[in-house]
Structure 1
Amino acid sequence: MRWFWAVLLFGVVVGFLIGYQIARQGKTHSPAEFSLPAIAAPGRTSALLSEAFVKVAKEAEASVVHITTTAPVPEEYRLFREFFFGERMPERVPANYGSGFLFRSEGFVLTNFHVVQGSDTMRVGLDEKTELPARLIGYDQLLDVAVLKIKAGNRTFKALPLGDSDKLEKGEWVIAIGNPFGLDKTVTVGVVSAKSREFEEINGRPAVTSYIQTDAAINPGNSGGPLLNLNGEVVGINTFILGQGGNIGIGFALPINEVKRILDRLMKGGPITRGALGVSLIDANSQEAKEAGIQANEGAVIVRMAINSPAYLAGLRPGDVVVKFNGVPVKDSSHLRRLVLQQPGGAVVEIEALRDSKRLKFNVTLGSR
């Protein structure tokens, strides 16, 4: 009898499964069950993106300026040319040209310092027909940024809002506007190719910060112009490119947050000083450090210093491994240099260092550069 009940149970189960499959195949599905996620038509998406570019360009155009400068010809050179060659040399000659943008309605302009460096007169072009004189207010040579003031009495101007460069994402659309090769208010579009791109030095000066990399076309004359997000906010100042002569799709912009940190100091006028520690450094995890008996994965090793340097006067010595700067863990020698340069000259900072396996703290009054 046991086998009889086993066969009967097996038959019931098989019958149930066959019936379920037949019923499932015969069911009428509603269109909703087969619907795909809604995707915007490619043409409409392109149109919306194009509209965003056009809107930003139109809104920003009036605030983007071109900058021309002149520099004095040394009197000795003018006299030399006149005496030996009979040439009448002008007292001033064209120096640099570039771009900038109004960031305050009273006529204050942000640009790169290298656009106005070495010049004695500056003119700001609002368009191809209107140029106004300007004067240099404040500058930071290492960060390569300067503030100009247009000489226009009580006239007001349309200013661009400053955004938050920390919120930028790789792949985000950006727009560059400037004066490449003297072509006023040229608009180019690209994406953020990379964030926090670091360099040891730029054009012979130590790099104070990291940069935004973009493939938006940047050419000679774009320097000082704004890099904008699709909200029309300035997220960077177009500063330099890789390669010689023109755009190869690798341009770099100074993050606007770095400028905002020192903007009050720039507005007070004159040059901005940067901190100096007065030491030579190597990475704590370098082969040279290991050969010297340093056992550390992170930090910067002091290898040389002047007797009267800020570091020496505070008690630091060669062989010390700097592991913290004002509470920030130090990754390597480049990181420490940048942390020092981000401080103003004369600032008092706390440095934590390892010496003979002991952790020591020092209060250092930074020098200036």
Structure 2
Amino acid sequence: MAAYSVLSTICHSSPTFSPFSRSPNRKSTFILSKSLSLHHTPNPKSTSPFIFSLLSHNSNHDQNSLTSSNSSTPSFLKIPLPFSSALDSLLIFCTSLALSFTLLVADADSALAFVVTTPRKLQTDELATVRLFQENTPSVVYITNLAARQDAFTLDLLEVPQGSGSGFVWDKDGHVVTNYHVIRGASDLKVTLADQSTYDARVVGFDQDKDVAVLRVDAPKDKLRPIPIGISADLLVGQKVFAIGNPFGLDHTLTTGVISGLRREISSAATGRPIQDVIQTDAAINPGNSGGPLLDSAGSLIGINTAIYSPSGASSGVGFSIPVDTVSGIVDQLVRFGKVTRPILGIKFAPDQSVEQLGVSGVLVLDAPANGPAGKAGLQSTKRDAYGRLILGDIITSVNGKKVANGSDLYRILDQCKVGDKVIVEVLRGDQKEKIPVILEPKPDES
């Protein structure tokens, strides 16, 4: 604005002012002579105002004032008219150029003052999600299931990938937790950490009934980042959850959703035994996500992504995760003992549909080996008489006063018991009901 005011003063100080004029103007000659004398002044700061004051005060001078010997202008500043006219035009041109440049620079600086280059802005929830993924990705691993295959032509044994899945680091000792169906049938296992380093893994132990397995890798402790362990007992439908895994063999992938259901029940892919209190979520879970962690909004583990409900095999918005409270107890036993000590009754029972056809509710005992807990207690098996007629065995209707309508109910009750516990089994034998005490024992292959 200052440069614009000065230029306005120059342009309006004289009606005959023209910055590009080359005519021998007497008025401008006097301006030139006065301005030349300013180069010898000791105070350069006062030069510009003085020039502009001369431009405004000497517009009425005539030619005689410049050429007369009695003029107040010193004789050493008197310049011949043609030369004066050329210098006059040059000086005015330079002055105009300098003022224009000053004006342009001033405008550019003003414009730059209003240009603000802001970084990408994220909402608070977005920042929290990004931070959660960055902090928990180092804990998630990629598991490759290798199987031995014999080449049909060379008869050489080769290891080829037959499946893959996800897992997560449990502790600094190199224990990795995943699903049992991820490692089932493997002749060799490879675990790839977040930094793409790959290590051979050995199986510490597994629980087929709950579809949980523990591996171990000999990786440096500084590369192992244990995942924070949370709790699943206080989960609520509607709270946010986050699933991290390697679907379809891709690199770490994050999907988000909410808990859409609690206390669901699914069957183990290996044994068919029911898994209770499963978490249902609408976070996308695809092949390869199995064994990966399900996290809450604080980044703590609340479950293992295990299965999906989908006729096509792809995510349909209904995924299931084994709760961390169930997983923690299993992993502790596998790490300490290499096995899970789960109590059994020691019976084989008929399918639920067969019992329904009989018009009764309960679990029909097909076989109770004499060396098993139920056989020792006196439970009777189903058998045939001498004529080939089927004689039904005991039908279990309750255990410790809890009703048993099918096999899932029986498993659910036994999961709440420990090895060595005495339970009261109520059975229907013929037309009579009897209560039989049974001492629970571990599986023969786990003793």
Query: TM-score w.r.t. structure 1 length?
Result: 0.73
Contact 1:274–1:342 (CA under 8 A) maintained in structure 2? no
Look up the SS of the partner of 2:170 in the other structure: strand
Mapped to 2, the partners of 1:92 and 1:191 lie a distance apart of 39
Distance 2:267 2:296 in 1: 27
Pick the aligned partner of 1:64 from 140, 143, 146: 140
Q: Which amino acid aligns with 2:362?
A: A
Instruction: Check conservation: 1:145, 1:259, Cα contact below 8 A.
Output: yes
1:216-246: CA deviation from partner (whole Å, max 9, x where unpaired)? 0011110110000001111000011122331
Whether the 8 Å contact between 1:190 and 1:215 is mirrored in structure 2 is yes
The residue type paired with residue 323 of structure 2 is P
Between the aligned partners of 1:319 and 1:214, the Cα distance in structure 2 is: 40
Are 1:265 and 2:333 matched, yes or no? yes
The question of whether the paired residues in 2 share the 8 Å contact of 1:115 and 1:224 is answered with: yes
Q: 1:136 to 1:361 in 2, by over 3 A?
A: same
Worse-superposed segment, 118-127 or 136-145: 118-127
In 2, distance between residues paired with 1:336 and 1:354? 13
State the alpha-carbon separation in 2 of the partners of residues 269 and 303 from structure 1: 31
How far did 1:90 drift? 4.2
Task: For residue 204 of structure 1, report the CA deviation from its aligned partner.
Answer: 5.6
Partner of 2:321 in structure 1?
253
Partner Cα distance (2:425, 2:274) in 1: 23
The DSSP-based 3-state class of the residue aligned with 2:134 is helix
Change (3 A) 1:322 1:48: same
| 8 Å Cα contact 1:176-1:225 kept in structure 2 | yes
Q: Say which SS state the counterpart of residue 104 (structure 1) adopts.
A: coil
Distance 2:321 2:330 in 1: 17
Distance 2:369 2:218 in 1: 48
**Higher mean displacement: 57-66 or 199-208:** 199-208
Is structure 2 residue 202 aligned with structure 1 residue 126? no
Task: Decide which of 93, 107, 126 is 2:174's aligned counterpart.
Answer: 107
**Higher fraction of helix:** 2
The equivalences for 1:1-369 within 5 A come to: 47-73=123-149, 77-78=150-151, 81-82=152-153, 87=154, 89-127=156-194, 129-155=196-222, 157-200=224-267, 202=269, 205-243=272-310, 244-272=312-340, 274-277=342-345, 278-280=347-349, 291=359, 300-308=362-370, 309-317=372-380, 318-325=393-400, 329-333=402-406, 334-340=408-414, 347-353=420-426, 360-366=435-441, 368=443
> Which residue identity does 1:194 align to in structure 2?
G
The residue type paired with residue 344 of structure 2 is A
Equivalent residue pairs, number: 303
Task: Report the secondary structure of 1:169's partner residue.
Answer: coil
Amino acid at match of 2:209: L
Contact 2:374 2:438 (8 Å CA) reproduced: no
Q: Aligned equivalents of 2:325 and 2:436: distance in 1?
A: 30
Output the amino acid matched with 1:280: F
Could you tell me how far apart the structure 2 residues matched to 1:154 and 1:89 are? 37
Q: Separation in 1 of the partners of 2:317 and 2:270?
A: 19
Q: Which has the higher strand share?
A: 1
The structural deviation recorded for 1:196 is 1.3
Q: Quick check: 1:235–1:256 contact (8 Å CA) kept in 2?
A: yes
CA-CA distance at 1:248 after TM superposition? 1.1
Contact 1:310/1:367 (8 A) holds in 2:
no
Q: State the Cα distance separating 1:272 from its structure 2 match.
A: 3.0
Q: Residues 170 and 192 of structure 1 are in contact (CA less than 8 Å); yes or no, is this contact kept in structure 2?
A: yes
CA contact (8 A) 2:211 2:269 kept: no
Does the CA-based 8 Å contact 1:276-1:341 persist in structure 2? no
* Structure 1 residue ranges without an equivalent (≥5): 1-45, 293-298
3-state SS, counterpart of residue 196 of structure 1:
strand
Higher relative contact order (CA 8 A, sep 6+): 1
RMSD: 2.9
> Mean Cα displacement is larger for which, 125-134 or 258-267?
125-134
Q: What is the SS of the residue equivalent to 1:129?
A: coil
State the alpha-carbon separation in 2 of the partners of residues 152 and 201 from structure 1.
Answer: 31
Aligned pair in 2 of structure 1 residues 204, 357: CA closer, same or farther (>3 Å)?
Answer: closer
Measure, in 1, the Cα distance between the counterparts of 2:267 and 2:173.
37
Aligned 8 A contact 1:141 1:271 in 2: no
Q: Percent identity?
A: 36
Deviation, structure 1 residue 149? 1.4
Structure 2 alignment gaps of length 5 or more = 1-121, 381-392
Secondary structure of the structure 2 residue equivalent to 1:253: strand
Distance 2:176 2:405 in 1: 36
Give the letter aligned to residue 57 of structure 1: F
In the superposition, relative to structure 1, how do residues 68 and 200 fare at CA in structure 2: closer, same or farther (>3 Å)? closer
Q: Secondary structure at the match of 2:126?
A: helix
